[in-house]
Amino acid sequence: MNGNDQIMINPTRSGLLHRIAGVADRGTWLPVGVFVALVAIFSFASPAFFTWRNFAATTGEAATLLIASLGATFVILMGSIDLSVGAVVLLVGTTTVAGLKLFQGADLGPLTIPFGAFLGAALGAFNGAIIVFGRIPSFVVTLGSLSVFTGIALSILAGATIMFDSPFFDVLSLRQTIPHLPNIALWALLLWLISIFVGARTRFGRFVMLIGGGEQVARTAGIPVDRYKIYGFTVSGLTAGLAGIFAMSRLGAVGPSLGGDLLLNTLGAIVVGGTSLAGGAGGVQRTFIGVAIITVLSNGLNLVGVGPYWQLVIKGFVVIGAVLVSQDRIANLIVK
Amino acid sequence: MTPMASEANPGSELLAVSRLAKSYGPIRILHDVSLNVPTRSIVGLVGENGAGKTTLFNILTGLARPDGGAMLYRGRPYAPRSYGEAFSLGVSRVFQEQSLILNVPVYENMALSQERRFTRFGQFVDRGAMIRVAEAIVEEAGLDVDVRRNAGAYDFSRRQAIEIARACLAPKHLMGIEDPLVLLDEPTSALDQQDETAFLDLLARMKRHASFVFVSHRLTEVRAICDSIVVMKDGRISGLLTPVEADEKTLHGLMVGRERAEDYYHTDEQRDVSGEPVTYRVRELSSTEFSGISFEVRAGEVLGIGGLLDSGKAALGKAVAGVRPAKSGTVTLASGAPQRPSIRRLVREGLGYVPAERLVEGIVPGFSLAMNLSLPSADKYSPYGIWRTDLEKSAARDAVQQFGIRSGSPAIPMRNLSGGNQQKVVLARWLQRDLRMLVLDNPTRGVDAGAKEEIYQHIRKLTAQGVGVILITDELAELIGLANRILIMQRGAVVAEIPAPPAGKPTEHDLIPHMLPSTRAA
């Protein structure tokens, strides 16, 4: 079974039941099962877990991760990888907050969103251009830019945490238009839905999938592979930039540790959701459940009292395990 | 040391294969294949491409595992798990592509993979012993070869003789295995008449030392040399004949499943293009693998390009289509401006390209038929960035109908289709565009006989519409049958241009001398 449930439903089947059966391969239901099991276990283990209060906290947490993972999913679908997502979040957050401090008089709140999106996209395009024109593996380039972006951000921050206060950001992220659901989660859902549409119904989404499924085939058919690779990294930077704005607005501060956990968490969410690291199989629709699993895992372990260091160990194993489980799908792709 | 030093008796069964079955995914490659190879005999194995000969050889040499059936070799169950295991039991294979290492002396080639037998004190290689064994092999085979010279010093046909001698005699001299089994995979396809005769002589001599399964497309030589002939079709044994029974017509019938159409290549539809305008003009195209190539293709013409595997014809095909960059030179499509070929621009202007390596360059096996079909046509399916999956699906349905793609539907994953049907999708991909020029690299490789003829029909239909075609192929019959004109390449240059009008088609023997280097070692 392959991950492209959207495209690969057997057309000879019809009707809702068959349609559900068509998507019911392991790749789809395994993560859902894991999520349900985690929720059940943590509800049992900690009285604080299954509460509205914790729901609001985790959805806020999950929202940032989801936004940051959307573009990175496209990169992984292309068969590349973007390790610089967390660093882009930090750099965008830092420059934005520094800008806000600089022009303290004016109310620049709403402008931060296009600013963050643009800066993030520019950083992503920078990654993509080096990968394509330098013919360097994305792994190496984004590892380098991870260090570059982090270094610039930390030198701006000079080790300090910058706090700020703005009513706009409260409305943007923290207010609960729907009770118990912070607005940031609504934005994340909206961006997720847009990304699903982009993945399934646009030329960009199609080419990204083709590049991951068979780059050589795409080139041989005259598809502008290099251009779309740059687009892919640009989109990854763009969503990371937006995630930076939303993260800072939710926290009301930017410090050196912003985005630090996103390197593992974005990759974890994407592969746990069922997108193949080899590219060409999976999709942004799956990343949602991956984000839910990673967030519930962190949150639950916290509440149960597992220390942050052991959390790193567990999360690391979960990510490796997810890749192991998805391995046979990759093998399927390669065998014939 | 050797697990099997037993000596088989002439006439007894060396190998008995019974009811072998093999599938790749849903596609059955072999059904119920049974055959026997008596000791010291030559069994001819003939069949169209895609009949399952290669898969059978892969199973016999441990490169593939059967799903069912059994094999007995020297009376014992035989199920090799690797080529090394098969080789250690005395089963070896001579490929179409030669496997000698050119920059190494012949004697080292003879001892290849058996070096440890010449290792002394764990580290030192006893070259003297190696040379003595190699000389013994060469002498027994009756070859005039200095084993101290590099393999590259000998020409293609001589290297092939060395390889056969190695396969037949090295097991005895190195491992003490008498009567090995040697699988010959189209060894003669690149030989001219004189070398072919020499090759068949060698084979007749070697029959005293080994048994052979001999795959060839040349039915005359199969009938001349083989003790029995096995015919395969669509993964089954369709006939078992003696050379006397096997006249060409009977063999064709068994291979293709029907009397071969009088005009398999539809030569009667070949157009006289002398009055047609030039559609594609290639000027002084050069890369690392070829240089200074110029030619023109007229509307409705099929220009064939032939040559050996290392002639540069495959690289030229890629460059002409703009898939691989050329160092210098230009191409001109229709009335456009001369340009350095780039597939992206050329596709926009009406060129299509069918690559040779279908699974690597042609299709994405995990994606649906519809996605594979629409691949180069983003301009059609997403004119404004939104992908019209509805259009894509209906176009796929039409193509399934029009091209007779068996078990095809828009959403079926490509890997579930047979090679022939996959290739029809690749072809259909281009035919739904406004085509002016089509570059085909081995368009019927791994394609069954039925699909093959349909592909030929489509090529003829295209030329009738005025599309120019460049056909690069390793199959000489196809090259001759389809082309209006044939360019022969050698070492990156065009060395001959041979007209092939319907009334005066050249024969394979007319072409082969041009394909081989003229300076031969004596």
**pLDDT-based confidence at residue B180 (cuts at 50, 70, 90):** very high
Task: Answer whether A323 touches B (CB < 8 Å).
Answer: no
Task: Answer whether A13 touches B (CB < 8 Å).
Answer: no
Strand pairing category for B13-24 and B27-38: antiparallel
> Model confidence over B109-151: pLDDT tens digits?
888 777 778 877 777 878 888 899 999 999 988 888 999 999 8
Instruction: State residue B510's pLDDT score.
Output: 84
Instruction: State residue A327's pLDDT score.
Output: 61
Averaged pLDDT of chain A: 86
**Residue burial A33-47, b: 16+ Cβ < 10 Å; e: rest:** ebbeebbeebeeebe
CB atoms within 10 A of CB B20: 24
Instruction: State residue A27's pLDDT score.
Output: 60
> Model confidence over B47-67: pLDDT tens digits?
876 678 888 999 999 988 999
**pLDDT-based confidence at residue B261 (cuts at 50, 70, 90):** low
Supply A30's token pair. Answer: 């395994």
Instruction: State residue B123's pLDDT score.
Output: 73
> In the 3-class helix/strand/coil scheme, how is B450-475 assigned residue by residue?
HHHHHHHHHHHHHHHCCCEEEEECCC
**pLDDT-based confidence at residue B521 (cuts at 50, 70, 90):** very low
Instruction: State residue B518's pLDDT score.
Output: 63
pLDDT higher at A329 or B432: B432
Q: pLDDT at residue A119 above 90?
A: yes
Provide the chain A residues 179-218 that lie in CB contact (below 8 A) with chain B.
Answer: 201-207, 209-210, 213-214, 216-218
Instruction: Locate the chain A residue with the closest alpha carbon to B362.
Output: A217
Instruction: State residue A187's pLDDT score.
Output: 94
Q: pLDDT at residue A334 above 60?
A: no
Residue % of chain B over a pLDDT of 70? 94
Task: Answer whether B244 touches A (CB < 8 Å).
Answer: no
Q: How many helices (H) and strands (E) does chain A have?
A: 14, 2
**pLDDT-based confidence at residue A90 (cuts at 50, 70, 90):** very high
Instruction: State residue A236's pLDDT score.
Output: 98
Average pLDDT value for residue range B452-467: 92
Instruction: State residue B136's pLDDT score.
Output: 92
> Model confidence over A151-206: pLDDT tens digits?
999 999 998 898 887 778 887 888 888 888 898 999 999 999 999 999 999 999 99
Instruction: State residue B193's pLDDT score.
Output: 73
Chains A, B: CB contacts within 8 A come to 98
Q: What is the pTM of this model?
A: 0.76
**pLDDT-based confidence at residue B274 (cuts at 50, 70, 90):** confident
**A2, A8, A222 ranked by CB distance to B376: nearest:** A222
Average pLDDT value for residue range A257-285: 91
How far apart are alpha carbons B314 and A9 in whole angstroms? 38
CA distance A10 to chain B (A): 6
**pLDDT-based confidence at residue B10 (cuts at 50, 70, 90):** low
Query: Can you state the angle between helices A85-102 and A262-273, rounded to 10 degrees?
Result: 130
DSSP codes, A109-148: GGGHHHHHHHHHHHHHHHHHHHHHHHT--HHHHHHHHHHH
Q: Residue B189: name the closest of B97, B252, B310, B265 by CA.
A: B97
**pLDDT-based confidence at residue A6 (cuts at 50, 70, 90):** very low
Instruction: Locate the chain A residue with the closest alpha carbon to B359.
Output: A336
Instruction: State residue B352's pLDDT score.
Output: 95
pLDDT higher at A48 or B252: A48
**B364, B371, B410 ranked by CB distance to A11: nearest:** B410
Task: Answer whether B255 touches A (CB < 8 Å).
Answer: no
| Residue B211 near residue B41 (C-beta atoms within 8 A) | yes
> Model confidence over B299-335: pLDDT tens digits?
999 999 998 877 899 999 999 999 998 999 999 998 8
**pLDDT-based confidence at residue A31 (cuts at 50, 70, 90):** confident
